[in-house]
Each structure stands twice: as C-alpha cells, then as structure tokens.
Amino acid sequence: MQFKDVARVDVDGRTICLDCSGELSYISHAHSDHVSGKKKNEVIASDATLHLAGVQFNSKLVHERVKLHPAGHMLGATQIEVQRDGGNFVYTGDFSLNDGFTYKGAHIIEADELLIESTYGSPDYHFPKKEELAEILKKEIQSRLSFGNVVFAVYATGKSQELIKMLNEYCNITPVVSPEVARVSEIYVKHGQPLSYINSHSDEAVEAFRENFVGIIPKSQFRPELRMRLTQHYHKPCYFGSLSGWNAKFPSEVFDIALPFSDHADFNDLVEYVDHSDPKKVYVFGAFAETLSNVLKLRGYQSIAVK
Ligand SMILES: [Zn+2]
C-alpha cells in the first residue's frame, strides 16, 4: 500500500491531505519533508509551523471534528485527530514522547484508526534521556574547547534550537550560529522560546571569534574539508559534532563528537504509543515500517506497512 493512499482523510465532504498538497492541507510540522509547497489554499496547522515553514495560505480551517494535539519533536509540531462517523482517526507525523529542551512531549491519543510515522521503528534504536546526553556533551565540549573550536553540523530547524538551549542551560555557552540557524531561532524567540546565540554575520561575532567558540552550521553545509579550512583560518584545531538518532547505530568516522540525540520517538516509544492508543487498525509508514508493523502484528494489532 502506498502512503499517498492513506495520507488523506475525509470530514464532512472535504478531503484533508496529510503532509501533502491538496485543496485542504494539514502540515504536521515545519521540516521540509513534511511541507510540500510554500503556497496553500486552505491549511490546518499550528501558527508556529506556518511561521517556521514560511507557508503562504488563503485561509485556515477550524472544524469541530478536527483537533490538533502536541507532537513534541519541535516547536509547533502537532498530531491531527479527526472524528469520523465510524470512529476517530489519528495521524502522528514525526513525534517525541519525551520533553525536549524547547518543546513538551507528545500526548498519546486513543484512536480507532492510527497512521503512525516510524522513523526509528527498529529494536536497534534506543535513545538515552536528553539530560544524560547533555551531561556527556558538556564534557565532550569542555575537553576540546581549551584547545580549539567546536562546530556542530545539525538541522537548521529544530535540532539547532535544541542545541542552543542545551548549550545555554547546561554549558553556559552562547554559540555562534550561521544566518540560516539565526533566522529560525528568531522565530522560536518570537513564539516564546528564549534562546541566546550570536549570528555569525554580526559585529558581536567578530568579538566571539577572537576566543575559542562553539559554532552551529546547517547539516547541509557540512563538508569534511571544512575541518582543514577552519583550522587554517583560526590557527587552531576545529572539532566537529553531530547530534542524530542515527548515531545510535552508525559510529561516525567524520565527527569528533557524535551522540544519539534525537527529537524522534525511539523503538520503545513507538510501541508504547500504539499500545496506549490501542487502535483497531494501524498503518505504519516511514523507515522500518515493515519491521515495526511485524512487531505490532505479533502484539495482536491489525497492522499494515505503507510505502
Ligand atoms: Zn520532523
């Protein structure tokens, strides 16, 4: 079964496209793989998601049968619940059950029919608590910062702001961030999430660059040869860091610091969600959909993996 066949739900004769383009589109959160197109006719989404994604739209749908619930994961991320005549339908999108540094964890919604995203739906993926990772990160940074600079290459939207908050609160560090990261962080601040950072294109950054610093660049801008360029430019070692759930299984040869710091549910969280949601039918999509679906079948669920 294809994702496009289940990624739409009807309510009172209207079809809601779930993280896909249509006359009426639901956007679960602002990550680019969940936002198809910047122009929409009618949307269902949180204000923060629309702001972060830069989506232009004609109108927002408010409907008594449609309810949004927190999804954790990042600022503005939601799950959608639709009350239908035959029972309720819930679509999770990316979610995290645990609190992050910049968001509250997702609520588990009881559903008759559930469509769940399974990014880390393999038993290989278990993530330590973020507070534990923050303590490890603090030591990893401190041990290197007296010798040189530390630069993290992470997603500009969501992960960067988690990192900024963690550096502010656990390490008493104000990082220097790329303009793209600063632009997103500014939106976080506008939505009530205080963050302390320095835009690398500001006068303040000129001062910060005189000392050893912690930097944040978008993952998309990272190249292994950057290490040599930054080392030569600042005349001191440059260490690189990565924060990703994939680090739980694949040790990095490129990054000096690589922690399994994720804003997704891990395998146990995914199973916990389904157990508490207790759906009559569950559709699983995303990475490891087949693996998670088979686990759910063994637990007695009518589960279908969706490509
Ligand atoms: Zn996401």
Q: Write out the DSSP string of 241-276.
A: EEE-GGGGTS--SS-SEEE---SS--HHHHHHHHHH
CB proximity list for 209: less than 8 A, separation 6 or greater? 176, 234
CA 103 to centroid of ligand 1, rounded, Å: 13
Mean pLDDT value of segment 76-86? 95
CA 94 to centroid of ligand 1, rounded, Å: 5
Kindly report the backbone phi and psi dihedral angles of residue 233, in degrees, each rounded to the nearest multiple of 5, phi listed first: -65, -45
List, edge to edge, every strand of the sheet that includes 8-11: 8-11, 14-18, 24-26, 39-44, 56-60
- d(CA 247, CA 152) in angstroms, rounded, equals 14
Can you give the pLDDT at residue 3? 78
Residues of the chain with CATH 3.60.15.10: 3-124+264-306
The two tokens of residue 6 are 């289940």
CA 29 to centroid of ligand 1, rounded, Å: 7
Asked if residue 224 has pLDDT above 80, the reply is yes
Residues of the chain with CATH 3.40.50.12650: 130-259
Fold (topology level) of 3-124+264-306: Metallo-beta-lactamase; Chain A (3.60.15)
Asked if residue 6 has pLDDT above 90, the reply is no
Judged by DSSP in three states, 208 sits in: helix
pLDDT per residue as tens digits for the range 56-68: 999 999 899 999 9
Q: Specify the DSSP class assigned to residue 98.
A: S
- d(CA 305, CA 121) in angstroms, rounded, equals 11
pLDDT per residue as tens digits for the range 244-278: 999 999 888 899 999 999 999 999 999 999 999 99
Can you give the pLDDT at residue 40? 86
Can you give the pLDDT at residue 87? 94
CA 176 to centroid of ligand 1, rounded, Å: 24
Can you give the pLDDT at residue 32? 87
- d(CA 75, CA 94) in angstroms, rounded, equals 12
pLDDT per residue as tens digits for the range 278-294: 999 999 999 999 999 99
CA 228 to centroid of ligand 1, rounded, Å: 31
- The neighbouring-strand residues paired with 66 are 82
Average pLDDT score, the chain: 95
Among 3-12, 18-27, 291-300, whose mean pLDDT is lowest?
3-12
CA 208 to centroid of ligand 1, rounded, Å: 31
CA 71 to centroid of ligand 1, rounded, Å: 10
Q: Specify the DSSP class assigned to residue 90.
A: E
User: 2, 5, 3, 7: which is closest to 91 by C-alpha?
Assistant: 7
- d(CA 160, CA 73) in angstroms, rounded, equals 12
Per-residue burial over 178-190, b = 16 or more CB atoms within 10 Å of its CB, e = otherwise: bebbbebbebbee
CA 28 to centroid of ligand 1, rounded, Å: 9
CA 177 to centroid of ligand 1, rounded, Å: 21
Mean pLDDT value of segment 171-177? 97
Q: Are 181 and 175 in contact (CB under 8 A)?
A: no
Q: Are 240 and 257 in contact (CB under 8 A)?
A: yes
What letter represents residue 55's amino acid?
V
Neighbours of 37 (CB within 10 A): 10
If phi over 0 gives left and psi between -120 and 50 gives alpha, with beta otherwise, what is residue 291?
Answer: alpha
Q: Are 285 and 93 in contact (CB under 8 A)?
A: no
Fold (topology level) of 130-259: Rossmann fold (3.40.50)
CA 30 to centroid of ligand 1, rounded, Å: 7
CA 72 to centroid of ligand 1, rounded, Å: 10
CA 73 to centroid of ligand 1, rounded, Å: 7
CA 209 to centroid of ligand 1, rounded, Å: 32
pLDDT per residue as tens digits for the range 106-147: 999 999 999 999 999 999 999 999 999 999 999 999 999 999
CA 179 to centroid of ligand 1, rounded, Å: 21
CA 35 to centroid of ligand 1, rounded, Å: 10
